[in-house]
Structures are given as C-alpha cells and as structure tokens.
Chain A
Amino acid sequence: MNLQYVLRKLAEVMSWDDDTAQAEFARIELMSRMKYDGYQDFLAGARFSERLLDWVQQFGALEDRKTAYRFVRDQLIFISTAEMHHLIGLSWPEFFRPEILRFVADSYGIADYQVRVHQEASNALGKLQRKCLFIELSDGARIDVFRRANPGTISNEQIVTTSRFNREKWDDLLKDLQDELGDAEARFEFVFLLDDFTASGTSLLRFVDGKWKGKLRRFWDESRQFAGSHLSDDVRIHVHHYLATQRAREAVLQRHAERAAEGNWFDAEFTFGMVLPQSIRMEETENADVLDLISRHFDASIAPEKHVRESGCESMMFGYGDSRLPVILDHNTPNNTIPLLWATSSGNQDVHQMRPLFPRRQRHDVLDDSLDKQGQVLNG
C-alpha cells in the first residue's frame, strides 16, 4: 500500500495537527525502514505502518489512541534481526572461548595468560574446542547463525539443531569427534546450551506442583545416561541466552541453586549476551495510563485459564507471568510481552476484540507439559 496513503489515514485517525504529523511521519517512515518492517510475521502490504493504522483504530477514544501510540513510540523495545545476530556472534569469542581457556589454564596449573605460550596447554586448547557440543534449546537460538559467525572454529559435527535427540544422534556425534581427533577415548568435555531469550526463566527451570520442570530438567534427564560414554565424567554445562531480563537472570540462578541443593543435579555456568534492566518493566508508577488502557482492552480468552494460573498470576493481561514487557523480537513476540501488542481475539459485544500490532505466532501454550516435553516452548 502507498505509504503516503497510510500516513494520511493515520494522521486523520490520530487527529494530528501539522506539527505533530510532520514529526511522526518522519519517525514512522524512518523506524519502519530501519527496524520494524523487518518483523518476520509481517506480510507484504501489511507491514508496520499498515499494522499501526489498524492497531490504533481498535481504541475508540482519541485519548486512548494517543496513549497507545506514545507507548509504542517511546517504550517499545524492538530487537532487530541484525541486533540479534550480533548478540549471537558475541557468544563464542566473549563467553565460550574464555571459559574453555580458563579450564585449560586450571588443568595445567598456569595462569590464563600463559596458555598461549605454553605448548601443551595451547595444543590442549585446540583439541578442547573440538570437544564442545552446542545444542539449541529452541529454534530461536538460530544455531546455524551461531555456526556461520564462527567459521573455521566450530564444525557442523558439533552442532545439534534440536534440543531433543536420540541415541543414534549421540553416537554419530561421538564417532565424528573421535574420528576427527584420532582418539578413540575422546569425549565431549563441554556442552553449551543456547537459547535466544528468557524473560522469566520459567521455561528453563521451574518448580510446579512439587515437581521440577523445564528445559534444563529435561536435558538433564535425557543426557545424563550419556555421561561417561559420550560426555566426559566431569562434563561442563554452559547455558547461554543471547538476551535476558534482569528478573530472568536472577530467577534462573536462584532456581538452579535450589535444584542443586536437592542433589543429583549438575554444575552449570550461566551467561547472558545482554541483560535488559528491570527498568523496562511497565510499572504502575510510571505507566498508569498505558496499564489502564491495557486493562480496558483485554480479552481473557487469549489464554486458557489453567495455564494462566500455573504461571503464578491471575491474568495474562500484562503478559505471561505478569512480566509487563514492551519487548518485540524480530522473529516473534514473546508471550511475556504485553498482549495488547501481539494478541488476536474474536471478542464479543462485552469483550474487546484485540488486534495485534506485531502478530504473534501461537504455536503452543507455555505450561502445557505435554507440549513442553516436545521441546517447543517459546520463551516464558
């Protein structure tokens, strides 16, 4: 659709005067081009500006439209493909390799800075790089991008593009490793678990109804049988998220410690490419108008009640687990983000029909354990 036409309509809907229209047209045009139009679920002919025009019209009152527009303009955090790829590219050189290097230094009883000039340690470091296994915890981890960002360092045979795989795959991986190193005794020494985003840490590890659940528990359940055979006895597990909230980081570390205290668990290193500060959460004190708008334009039917309850709060109104995030990822919107931005509902005469700005692909429900077991959990 002609951008000029959409902008004209938007100015009408928003009742902008010329001063405002001039500034906002420039902003919409620029930000769409530089970032928002890259949202992967937009279709041709209905990208950001068209979506925005549709989205603001769901609010009847002009004041509400203005509040909604301001919220998007001033608070939305959109992580573009380029930004996410950049965070992926940081993982190996800034997080993984230093850990391996420290490990080698410790093994040889030398300082980390001596590794490069210590012949044996240096050789060991080279081999150890091959003894790393990289597993993605969700397709958001884009492990192919991770591999391409480190050409010549990480081979295809160290990469697992699914979080769940069978013994046959384990055997293949080990055989490739042993063949390449010419060492029949070789085992994987490091396992790196990769994921794109964690908002609350729930899908990674949570304690529900007296049981531990989540991707970490599942990984542990399924892979510990390979310790000693495929993985070395003292394999090191490293969990890395490209992006996390401050809240998720704290929760993950705490739950991991709690689980570890119960015994029969593993040591792990947790790292995060970028941690979003607590201040991005839409708190009542600073966002009363937006939160009020949200509460008046919510359709509870967007999420089954049971699952909402399991998240530990009463409503999905402000996002899963009451996360209250204004975060959009280039390839999909997390359910922790305020649903007003992503939810679609049919509504009825008493309930508002929600129309999304960034439509979210609803592939499953977060706390549905059966689905969870299939490893399709997105965010949460």
Chain B
Amino acid sequence: MDNPFKKRTTEHFRDDVAFLSVVAPEPITRFLEKHAQNSDLYDRPVVICGTPGSGKTTIGRTFSFRSVQTLLQMRGNREKDYTELVAALANCGVLADDRPLILGCRLQLESDYRDFWECPYPESLKAGLMTSLLQARSVIAWLRQLEEAGYSLDDVQAVARQDAEATVASIGGTAAAQLLKRACEVESALYSIVAALLPPPVEQLEEDATKAYQPFDVIEAFRVRGDDGVEFNLRPLAIFDDAHELHQEQYKELTRWLTRREIRVARWLLTRLDVLSPDEVLSAASTDPEATQPHTGMKTRRELLFVRLQGKEGREKRKFRGMARSMADRYLRHISVFQQRGITSFVSLLEHELPTVSDATVRQLEDESAKVQRRLNVSDSRRQSLEQSVNNYLQSSRQPDSDLERNTDVFHAMLQILMYRYRKRTKGPSLFPEVDDPEPSRPVAANAEVFESANLVLLHRNKRPYYYGIDRIADVATENAETFLRLAGELVERSATQLTRGKPGLLKPRDQNHILRDEADRIMREWNFPWHPQVRHLVDALGKRCRETTLQPNGWLRPNSYGVPQEEYDKLTASRQDLRSVLKFGIAWNAFDIRPKYKCKDRLWCILELGGVAILKHGLSLSQGNFIEGSIAELARIVEEKP
C-alpha cells in the first residue's frame, strides 16, 4: 500500500501541488507570524533551529517562490482548501492580493560549502569563497524560479542599492540575463575548486573565483513586469538549509557575514542544534531569547532572530496537537482505502473508550487490594475513606477515560497506591491495627498524579492501554512532525488492514497502545547516527530506571527525565568528551532534550528529558516535572559501558 505517512517528511512529496496539499499552516502561524509583524523576518538574519523532522525544511520549501507561485495558482481549486496556508503566508508578508511579495529560494548548505574549509587557503579566503558561492547560487535560484514561473528575464531587473553603483558591474549589472550569466561563471569557477581531487594552489585560482562578488550587498529587490504589464517588486529571500553541515568556524563566519549592515537581502539559516560544539548545543537548547548566542558571540535580540521549532510549555504542546491532527487529516486524504470510504479524519480512526474490565480482572484486583490492606494493616474505615477519595476524584475529574464502569481497575490501582502512601505517612504498619488507626502526617487523597501512576502501573502489570487517542499520540511525538507521522502511519496501516478485512477501521485503545510501542522500539533499533549505540544504551538505562521508580508501590514519582545538579553539568569538561558527544547527538536526533536551570528543592538542576520514542518504549509518563536525581559521574559511567 502506498502510505503517504511513510514518506514521513513532506519533502518527499516531490510535486509542488502534492507537497502543498499536505503542508499544515500551523508551524508558520505559530513560529513565524509574530516576527513578521515587526518585519524582523526579512530585515534581520533569522536562525530557525530544530531537531531532524521538526519541519525546518518544510518551512523553507513553503517559503520558496516556486511554492508560493503554485499556491497562488491553486487557490481556486475547490477540492483542496488552501485558504489557511495562503492566509498564514499573507500574514508573514509573503504575498498580498494576487501577487507574491517575496522571492524566496532555499539552498541546501551541502558539502560543497563545508569543503572550502578543508582547502589549504587563508581563512579569510576560504570564507570569501564560501559566501561567493552562496550568493552566486542564490542569484541563480531566484532568477531560475522566475523563469520557471513564466517570466522572461527581459522583464526582470535587479534594483540596486542607491549607493552601490560602483559595485553593480562586479555582479554583472542589473539586467537579469547578465546577472545570471555572471552568477553561473562564479559558480562554475568556485565549484571547480571544491570538486578538484587536489585543491589548486592559491596562485592558480581563477579570477572568477576570487574577484569581489557581493550581490547581497547590491541587490535590494527585483523589479518584475507581469503578464498584465504591471510592474511589481519582489524582495529576495535566501534560505540556507542544513547550516549544521558547515564547520563551526564557517558557521560563525557566515552568521557574522549575514549580520553585516550592507546586506539588503532577507536571509534565513535553517539548522539543527548540533552545528554547535557539544557545550554550545547544551546551552543553546535553552530558549532564552536574551541569551548570548555562544557560537556567534552576538546578542540574539539585536542582531539576529533565533526561532526554535519546539515549545516547552503545555500551551505549546496543545498547539502541536492541533497541528498534528491537521497534518494527519491531510495525509489521510491521499490513501485510496480511506478515500473510497469517505474517511477524512484521522481522529475518527481512534477509539478512545476502553472496554469494561472483565469480572475476572476485577476479582483479581479486589484480591490484591485486600492483600495490600492486610499487609499494611489498614483499617476498614480508613480504606473506606480512601476509596471515597478515589471515587470522588474519578467522578469529578475531567479525564477522558474516567468513566467508573471502565475504571474498576484504575480504582483499585489508585486505592492500593493510597494505602501505601497512607502507611508511609504514618511511619509504617502498627502492631495493633484494630485499635490503632492513626492519622497520616499529611492528608492522603486521590489526585491526577495518583491517577496517572495507577494507569502506568496497570500498563505494565495488566497491559491496560495507556498510549492511545490523538492527544497522547501527538504528545509522544515531542513536537516532531516526522516522529508523529511515523507513529500515525503505523496506526493508519492497521486501520487499512481492518478495512480490507471487512471490519470497521476504528482502532481499539489496546491496539493503538501496542502498535505505538512496537513502532517506538523499531525506531530506536533503526537509529544510525554518530554515537547512536551509546545514545541508545543511555536512553535504555535511564528508561529502565524511570520505569522502576514509576512502579514503586506508593506511586510517588512518574519520572521520564534524569536530573543532574546544574553546577556539575556546568563543569562538563573536555575529560568527558564521550559523554558530551553522546548528549549532543542524542539531542540532535530527538532521543532526549536538555532543560537547564530547572529549580527543584531549592537547587538548580539540568534535566535530561527522554524523547517521546523512549517514553513509549519504556512505558513512562508523558507529563513533565518528575525526574530521577543523578549525577554526571553516573551518566559518564553508563556511557562508558559497552553497549
């Protein structure tokens, strides 16, 4: 079955129309719109940062002129609704009325650019060669896209900065055809340097490669005459994707170069976090907008705009849920099995009510509760009051699955947790329970945490499903579109299988749960990036510890993270090179995330939060906040173990 979810990233939709039909407008609205309002998006260099699969390239491609042009042509399409996407782009100043305003091009910063760094030339020359190639290719991309869109180069003219007359000649003039010709000459000369088996000696470098070439300093806009004879201006935007492929020093050079006052062209850098050295990644993971960008030494707010495609707070999480839902619906429409049956909503495939617990299970749980009561010497009256507390919680809570009938198992699991908590707060079981029903040091009551602990205990002990329903599926993707699509894709395939079998396509919570967990396990087995064996080993070791803690009878903690004292973390020195690399690649590939300076128990902690895939695999809580207290030494020891 051709399952578009398995394409995972929207980039795999090669055709622009197909691509745009699956692009969700939410990331644009969510991450970029506010910056467009004060024209930060185009006046300052913008660094857009995220893990692989977080949607950087989708944004880059959506902002390219080709997509905008296609979108404008597609607006009238009745089958597909592009209104939201058009509105999102309009709010970002990409288009207005029927015309594009921005001439965006996306360039991948592939190894050609990185290779300049390996040439035996002075650093300033290497940096110059790199920026010349970037500029030449941007010019080529802008003009070629205009050509593809049907504009004749005769109708295109570069608008030069007023004080730049002297340098106009160096870029080939302002006529588009000449501009393009010059850009191609420069590209060819520069390419022959990086592509050579042996780098040519400095003195043999071609003039085309070394002569001053700074179109970004000269071009302010492109003046284009449309079919209707009306002239309009387009603001050029260069989007440099995969900037992490550059050498750190090149990246520094590039950001410095992009912040130069002379540049009139809008410019974005899309990058994974790990363009930085391990230390720098670890501090950049903080989203503090005022933070000094360690890799550039520049104050973020003033000189460049830093956008991270991931939010931390619950509010952000909810936004991702909406985005995931809309993305899944768009993908689903491409699958014939669903199309034929008029199924257009991903959520409609997901059953969210659990079946009533079987009598046998109820009896078993009743026995367990009785045993716990006996073992802990909890009086009947005390038990009754605890039961009351659980019932009150279940009735009043707005948990989607808090229906009492279907929660007999949860009821017992919660009760057992409360009995353990009660006993702990009365300093152990009394020798004379009949006469002794002490009050706990602090009140023991059912609440959301107890409810979640009970659910997780039941997940592990009774195979009660926990990971099901659109929200949890979106949450485990930890705001990574690719991970979400991959997980959702397995569910969709199962639903298609059921339809093929003549059954309803609705997936039971039990099936959702196990399909997602199996897929998580597969994703981790398929990891292959630098340090992945160590990353996997670390994730598994921490996941196991978290699970053990989660299953403690008093259900006190539901950790999915590991904390080390901030001061220890700050001293992560070169002697822990391996650990630093493991952390760096683990973060880059979404295995975990770092939250520094988290205040808990009057102490600052640096928290290593497991990624959604690891949480799924190990059956952990999706809520933030609980972590295992640990140390750098322990992390280092785990990393040193042979995976």
Contact = CB atoms under 8 A, between A and B. Distances in A.
A4 B341 CA distance: 14
Interface stretch (A17-25, A68-76, A118-126, A257-265): A17-25
Nearest to B497: A22
A165 B501 CA distance: 57
Contacts of A8: 500-502
Interface in B484-520: 493-494, 497-498, 500-502, 511
Interface residues of A, number: 10
Contacts of B511: 18
Interface residues of B, number: 10
Given A8-B500, A8-B501, A22 B1 contact: no
Contacts of A4: 337, 500
A22 B502 contact: no
A29 interface: yes
A343 interface: no
- Say what secondary structure dominates the interface of chain B: helix
Contacts of A237: none
A18 B500 contact: no
A26 B1 contact: yes
Contacts of B501: 7-8, 11, 18, 21
A348 to B, nearest CB: 36
Nearest to B514: A19
Contacts of B502: 8
A25 B493 CA distance: 10
Interface string B377-393: 00000000000000000
Nearest to B493: A22
A235 B470 CA distance: 77
A18 B1 contact: no
A8 B1 CA distance: 15
Nearest to A22: B497
A11 B502 CA distance: 11
Nearest to A21: B497
A29 B498 CA distance: 15
Contacts of B500: 4, 7-8, 11, 21, 25
A72 B540 CA distance: 37
A29 B496 CA distance: 13
A26 B1 CA distance: 7
A87 B500 CA distance: 39
A13 to B, nearest CB: 12
A3 to B, nearest CB: 9
A22 B503 CA distance: 13
Interface string A1-42: 000100110010000001001100110010000000000000
A322 B1 CA distance: 40
Nearest to A20: B497
Nearest to A6: B500
Contacts of A25: 1, 497, 500
A18 B337 CA distance: 17
Contacts of A26: 1, 493
Between A8, A21, A22, the greatest number of chain B beta carbons within 10 A of the residue's beta carbon is seen for: A22
Nearest to A12: B501
Interface in A154-176: none
A85 to B, nearest CB: 27
A92 to B, nearest CB: 35
B1 A29 contact: yes
A29 B1 CA distance: 8
A337 B500 CA distance: 33
A59 B501 CA distance: 22
B269 to A, nearest CB: 40
A80 B497 CA distance: 28
Contacts of A11: 500-501
A337 B109 CA distance: 55
A21 B495 CA distance: 11
B425 to A, nearest CB: 45
Question: Which of B337, B494, B501, B511 has the most chain A CB within a 10 Å cutoff?
Answer: B501
A22 B497 CA distance: 6
Contacts of A7: 500-501
A2 to B, nearest CB: 10
Given A8-B500, A22-B493, 18 more contacts: A4-B500, A7-B501, A8-B501, A8-B502, A11-B501, A18-B494, A18-B497, A18-B498, A18-B501, A21-B500, A21-B501, A22-B494, A22-B497, A25-B1, A25-B497, A25-B500, A26-B1, A26-B493
11 contacts: A4-B500, A7-B500, A7-B501, A8-B501, A18-B497, A18-B498, A18-B511, A22-B494, A22-B497, A26-B493, A29-B1
Interface of A: 4, 7-8, 11, 18, 21-22, 25-26, 29
Closest 9 CB pairs of A and B: A22-B497, A4-B500, A8-B501, A21-B497, A8-B502, A11-B501, A7-B500, A22-B494, A25-B497
